[in-house]
Chain A
Amino acid sequence: MIRINCPFCGERDHSDFTYGGDGSIVYPELDAPAEEWVEAIFQRENIRGVQTETWHHVSGCRQWLVVERDTMTHEIHSIKAAHEGVAKVLEAGK
């Protein structure tokens, strides 16, 4: 069982969270051409090694997190709030 150190709640079992998906996607503008949306929504790398992904602390603080996790070992390299403003505030408070 993966343990995720939520920046808001502390270390919790992964069963507290739901897996979001690829955290490296930069979503296009809403009026961007369909091709860009196809790229963002359907094209996924199957990464062996460190992958950036999103997790939602759905049974906790309900914050979305960006997590760097090694898909081979489950080792987590970094965790931060997905919300840019919140992440900055947390970083400044360290």
Chain B
Amino acid sequence: MSGSRLPDGGRINRSVPVEFHWDNRRVSGFKGDTLASALMAHGETIFGRSFKYHRPRGIMSAGVEESGAIVTVGRGARRDPNVKATTQEIYNGLYAKGQNAWPNVRRDLGAVNSLFSRFFSAGFYYKTFMGIPPMEWGKGTGIWMQYEKLIRKAAGMGVASREPDPDIYDHGHLFCDVLVVGSGPAGLAAAVEAAKAGLDVVLVEQDFEIGGDYLNQSNTEAEQKRAAAIAELEKHGARVMTRTTAFGLYDYGVAGLLERVTDHLSEPASHMPRQRFLTLRTRHTILATGAMERTVAFGNNDTPGIMTAAAANTYVNRFGVLPGKQIIVATNNDSAYGPALTLAKTGAEVTLLDSRTSIPGNISGLLETKGVTVKTGAAALNANGKRGISSLDLATGTHAHWTAADTQECDLLLVSGGWSPVVNLLSHRGVRPVWNTDNLCFVAPEYDEPIQMAGSACAIWGTSDCEASGQAAGAAAVAAIKGQSVSTPAPKAGGWETPIDPLYEVSVEGKHLKSFIDPQHDVTADDVRLAHQEGFVSVEHLKRYTTLGMATDQGKMGNIIGLALMAEALGKEIPQVGTTTFRPPYTPISLGALTGRGKGAHFKALRRTPMHEWNLAHGATMTEAGLWQRPWYFAREGETITEAYIRETITTRETVGLVDVTSLGKIAIQGPDATELINRVYSNAFAKLPVGKARYGIMLRDDGIVMDDGTSWRFSETDYFMTTTTAHAAKVMVFLEELLQTRWSNLKVHVTSVSEQWAGSAVAGPKSRAVLEACVADPASVSNDALPFMGVIETTLKNGVPCRIARISFSGEMAYEMYVESDYAQSMMDLLWPAAQSFDGCLYGTETLGALRIEKGHVTGVELDGRATIDDAGLGKMASEQKSYIGSALRKRPDLTRTDRPQLVGIFPKDKTEKFKAGSVLCAEDKVEGHGDGWITAVTHSPSLGHWIGLGYINGGYDQWTDQTVVAADPVRTGNTNVEIVSPHMVDPSGERMRG
């Protein structure tokens, strides 16, 4: 192939030259060129090397079906592999390279692979993995890992950048009445029809120019129609989007769109996203997605210089590039006659081979007057030429039997093996296309979806028929939306004078040919036959075994030939073999577009408490607790985390400590039946909780497993304040709403999440009451009588801020939880902290919170892990036998009441100087194996006891393991430690300190 720019013609803007880089050389083109057309104009033929055999590959098409000119665009962090040169617009500074070749696509040392091609046939990976016959040499994973490295290096597509993607991607949402996909003659007509009827229309086009096949036509009438339609759409306010692919259709009229915003710009403005991932909701969809010309399997049909006939027409008429001068056109249908004529008009030497024996005299006569030689009953058999086609071996006969004929010199071979309507998007809706025997292609069947197909996507071949089809589809959409009956008749499929010939492969007996059906994955006709010989009969299995249609083009050009060859091997017809399922996306989508802005710190929501800044200002090191940022510890200068939390724990036990507890879930429960609701959801008695008291409560799930624990404070007959754990705040709220709305709608009670309305601090330690007295307006209100253990008051702070206080303890010390409205969080801390300091108190974080509660054997989410029953957690006394509540029936299932279930225990090291880790498996001393008998949920250094302690579960509980040595097995981390099992209440088991 020796392409060259024609002196005039095409839609490129010759007054705007564009400079870019191709394989480290500077090349120029014009505005309106694709990378493929610009390089073709420079006579470039080899664009890449093939996947397995490193065969040189050139341009095969002019669109998204491209399987040859696959290149890498950009460099550094913006290196983007597997870009189709046929769709990439050129811009100043564009940097592109051929791929899968070293040192470059013209001189590729990897081409040695083609010498071993017989080893790389279908199922190569599977067979190699099983070992190479006859001795199954190399069987086994170890050696496979070695081959795999070598093979990966030699085979493959482009290489993606390993740097973080520097671009931004947006997600967006669109709504419309009618979505039209494709802006060719059918799509434009459909969009105009719908827009004229006053409907809100969105027209999307994957190309950078509106017009579809109008752009490939050289006559002025096509351009006038195109311009008129665009003007009409503008007049009626239709939204027209170019560079936008509808990549998938989903339920309820939802379409996925990918808009390429800056992929064609040299210097995009910094605020522009590279791409937009748009979710569009429409009432009706019109698919005017066109059809793709397919090729035919024959010898060396992947040689550079072989492309579809329509592609050549596009390069001449749209881009003003002549792809070759000595041209052979091989066809089995009428559609290649137009391109042959276009090329002949440029002065090129054109020979047309038609596999059919009788063709209409008027077409061939017209061609012959323009100097085209027409041969009927002839086909392409084998292409010659290593780096580009230099001659073609012809075959004569019919599709039933071919005989080798003479060889003819050429520099360009155009192939038309028929057309495949783009039914991919309809397939996404679960509609299986059916085989149309007149036009030899898959088309849409009857289906029940608010979707119209129009134009060549329905196998309608003529431009005016496509326009009529589009108009009819538009009218049908309007009628459907407005509830009218449809009257516009749509043209039928077809439009060729002579029927298409069922030609999928050309071969002659006795001659071995390398005929590609999926050039992108190097799948040949022989691979399909081999798969059949090896017993594959299902097309879905064929696909996976040979990898046919699994490359980045998803078999757009090759699938039909593969099916036809499989059908032939099976002795069946194509419809009996069926087709594989098309799935989104229609063309590849970058991962960045799928991710959008939800990456890094924006990956998930960030929740900060209202005293976040205050905590930071007072030396907090923060940690993540779910979505929350919570203080972890408050290290003094030079302190490690361990030193800090031990100091904080000692200080809290000896004097007083403050901790931010805002992240706890808080729910207002109000109404005449509030008590009834609370009494039904907690396992322990709540019916008689007096006003002015709080109570610790456990909630079970319906199935009897513990869901959450927390406290409920009673402020009046009808007003409760419930706290939940941080982790389960949302879950508890949802569950209460479910109960009240779906099961107990007769209860007069309202639940409101007030987690964000209240900020809280726990005040814990022997001096906690003294701290409170220093902070509230009326110190008598917090005296031991006024506010006894589990008492609740509403009062005001010295600074006039209203607050609510409950005397409850998680730490095991005398302790209080104090809440103020969130906006007053910092002013509360500004009162509490100086008061605590006056008693040598401290601030503490989650690490100390953990140490204090482990010493006390208080459970959290790691113990209440969705498997534990209330008895397992040692809280069986909190399960009332006097009432029924959520989970009360199923918690008594036989398996949940086994006495050998894992139960909560405390754990001490045998040698008190040793430590052990959470996650260790607890095993009997003589049986350190398998899952053991239990596990450790949490550990801490206990300042009160002076050694490491833990909480965990062990089968049968404390009683079963008294005085026995148990091994805390941690084989892959720190090794095993001998431990003893103790009561989980390791410090102050009688609870005297907190009642204080």
A30 and B885: CB pair below 8 A?
yes
Partner of A30, one of B254, B741, B884: B884
Answer whether residue A7 sits at the interface, using C-beta atoms and an 8 A cutoff: no
> Which residues of A are found within 8 Å of B740, using beta-carbon distances?
83
Inter-chain CA distance A41–B890, complex, in Å, is: 9
Given the interface contacts A30-B886, A33-B889, A34-B889, does A63 sit within 8 Å of B251 by beta carbon?
no
Partner of B702, one of A41, A62, A86: A41
Answer whether residue A90 sits at the interface, using C-beta atoms and an 8 A cutoff: no
Answer whether residue A20 sits at the interface, using C-beta atoms and an 8 A cutoff: yes
Given the interface contacts A27-B743, A31-B884, A74-B252, does A37 sit within 8 Å of B279 by beta carbon?
no
Residues of A7-34 whose CB lies within 8 A of B: 18, 20, 23, 27-34
What 0/1 pattern do residues 510 to 549 of B give for CB contact below 8 A with A? Answer: 0000000000000000000000000000000000000000
Given the interface contacts A30-B680, A82-B742, does A64 sit within 8 Å of B254 by beta carbon?
no
Answer whether residue B745 sits at the interface, using C-beta atoms and an 8 A cutoff: yes
A2 and B702: CB pair below 8 A?
no
> Which residues of B are found within 8 Å of A23, using beta-carbon distances?
742
A56 and B252: CB pair below 8 A?
no
> Which residues of A are found within 8 Å of B252, using beta-carbon distances?
1-3, 74
Partner of B889, one of A2, A18, A32: A32
Inter-chain CA distance A62–B702, complex, in Å, is: 21
Inter-chain CA distance A54–B742, complex, in Å, is: 9
> Which residues of A are found within 8 Å of B254, using beta-carbon distances?
1, 3
Answer whether residue B5 sits at the interface, using C-beta atoms and an 8 A cutoff: no
- Report the minimal beta-carbon distance from B28 to chain A, rounded to whole angstroms: 46
Residues of A57-82 whose CB lies within 8 A of B: 58, 62-64, 66, 74, 81-82
Answer whether residue B615 sits at the interface, using C-beta atoms and an 8 A cutoff: no
Given the interface contacts A30-B884, A30-B885, A74-B252, does A63 sit within 8 Å of B890 by beta carbon?
no
Answer whether residue A85 sits at the interface, using C-beta atoms and an 8 A cutoff: yes
Partner of A64, one of B702, B742, B888: B742
Given the interface contacts A30-B885, A31-B884, does A2 sit within 8 Å of B251 by beta carbon?
yes
What 0/1 pattern do residues 738 to 778 of B give for CB contact below 8 A with A? Answer: 10111101000000000000000000000000000000000
B890 and A38: CB pair below 8 A?
yes
Inter-chain CA distance A83–B748, complex, in Å, is: 12
Partner of A20, one of B279, B738, B745: B738
- Report the minimal beta-carbon distance from B426 to chain A, rounded to whole angstroms: 15
> Which residues of B are found within 8 Å of A36, using beta-carbon distances?
889
- Report the minimal beta-carbon distance from A68 to chain B, rounded to whole angstroms: 15
- Report the minimal beta-carbon distance from B73 to chain A, rounded to whole angstroms: 32
Given the interface contacts A1-B279, A30-B884, A37-B889, does A58 sit within 8 Å of B741 by beta carbon?
no
Answer whether residue A45 sits at the interface, using C-beta atoms and an 8 A cutoff: no
A64 and B737: CB pair below 8 A?
yes
Inter-chain CA distance A3–B742, complex, in Å, is: 22
B250 and A1: CB pair below 8 A?
yes
Inter-chain CA distance A31–B883, complex, in Å, is: 8
Answer whether residue B703 sits at the interface, using C-beta atoms and an 8 A cutoff: yes
| Beta-carbon nearest neighbor of A41 in chain B | B702
Answer whether residue A91 sits at the interface, using C-beta atoms and an 8 A cutoff: no
A34 and B741: CB pair below 8 A?
no
Given the interface contacts A1-B250, A3-B252, A34-B893, does A82 sit within 8 Å of B741 by beta carbon?
yes
Name the residue among B745, B886, B888, B892 with the largest chain A CB count within 10 angstroms: B745
Partner of B738, one of A32, A56, A84: A56
Inter-chain CA distance A40–B743, complex, in Å, is: 12
Name the residue among B252, B734, B886, B888 with the largest chain A CB count within 10 angstroms: B252
Partner of B741, one of A3, A42, A63: A63
What 0/1 pattern do residues 229 to 258 of B give for CB contact below 8 A with A? Answer: 000000000000000000000111110000
Answer whether residue B714 sits at the interface, using C-beta atoms and an 8 A cutoff: no
Inter-chain CA distance A37–B702, complex, in Å, is: 8
> Which residues of A are found within 8 Å of B703, using beta-carbon distances?
41-42
Answer whether residue B281 sits at the interface, using C-beta atoms and an 8 A cutoff: yes
B742 and A62: CB pair below 8 A?
no
| Beta-carbon nearest neighbor of A66 in chain B | B742
| Beta-carbon nearest neighbor of A72 in chain B | B430
Inter-chain CA distance A34–B896, complex, in Å, is: 13
> Which residues of A are found within 8 Å of B888, using beta-carbon distances?
30-31
What 0/1 pattern do residues 152 to 182 of B give for CB contact below 8 A with A? Answer: 0000000000000000000000000000000
Residues of A34-50 whose CB lies within 8 A of B: 34, 36-38, 40-42
> Which residues of B are found within 8 Å of A42, using beta-carbon distances?
703
| Beta-carbon nearest neighbor of A26 in chain B | B743
> Which residues of A are found within 8 Å of B741, using beta-carbon distances?
63-64, 81-83, 86
B250 and A56: CB pair below 8 A?
no
| Beta-carbon nearest neighbor of B743 in chain A | A27
B885 and A3: CB pair below 8 A?
no
A62 and B680: CB pair below 8 A?
no
Inter-chain CA distance A33–B745, complex, in Å, is: 22
> Which residues of A are found within 8 Å of B281, using beta-carbon distances?
3
A34 and B890: CB pair below 8 A?
yes
| Beta-carbon nearest neighbor of A40 in chain B | B702
> Which residues of B are found within 8 Å of A18, using beta-carbon distances?
734
Inter-chain CA distance A93–B740, complex, in Å, is: 22
B738 and A30: CB pair below 8 A?
no
Name the residue among B253, B743, B886 with the largest chain A CB count within 10 angstroms: B743
Residues of B474-504 whose CB lies within 8 A of A: none
Residues of B698-720 whose CB lies within 8 A of A: 702-703
Name the residue among A28, A36, A64 with the largest chain B CB count within 10 angstroms: A64
Name the residue among B251, B741, B743 with the largest chain A CB count within 10 angstroms: B741
> Which residues of B are found within 8 Å of A64, using beta-carbon distances?
737-738, 741-742
- Report the minimal beta-carbon distance from B681 to chain A, rounded to whole angstroms: 10
Inter-chain CA distance A33–B893, complex, in Å, is: 11
Inter-chain CA distance A33–B889, complex, in Å, is: 7
- Report the minimal beta-carbon distance from A3 to chain B, rounded to whole angstroms: 4
| Beta-carbon nearest neighbor of B893 in chain A | A34
- Report the minimal beta-carbon distance from A14 to chain B, rounded to whole angstroms: 9
What 0/1 pattern do residues 85 to 118 of B give for CB contact below 8 A with A? Answer: 0000000000000000000000000000000000
List the 8 shortest-distance A-B pairs measured between CB atoms, nearest first.
A30-B884, A31-B884, A64-B741, A37-B889, A3-B252, A83-B741, A1-B254, A82-B742
- Which residues on B are within 8 Å of A, measured CB to CB? 250-254, 279, 281, 680, 702-703, 734, 737-738, 740-743, 745, 884-886, 888-890, 892-893
- Interface pairs (30), CB distance under 8 Å: A1-B279, A2-B252, A3-B251, A3-B252, A3-B253, A20-B738, A23-B742, A30-B884, A30-B888, A31-B889, A32-B889, A34-B889, A34-B890, A34-B893, A36-B889, A37-B889, A38-B893, A41-B702, A41-B890, A42-B703, A54-B742, A62-B737, A74-B251, A74-B252, A81-B741, A82-B741, A82-B742, A82-B745, A85-B745, A86-B741
A-B contacts besides A1-B250, A41-B702, A64-B738, 13 pairs, CB < 8 Å: A1-B251, A3-B251, A3-B281, A29-B884, A30-B886, A30-B888, A31-B889, A33-B889, A36-B889, A38-B890, A82-B745, A83-B745, A85-B745
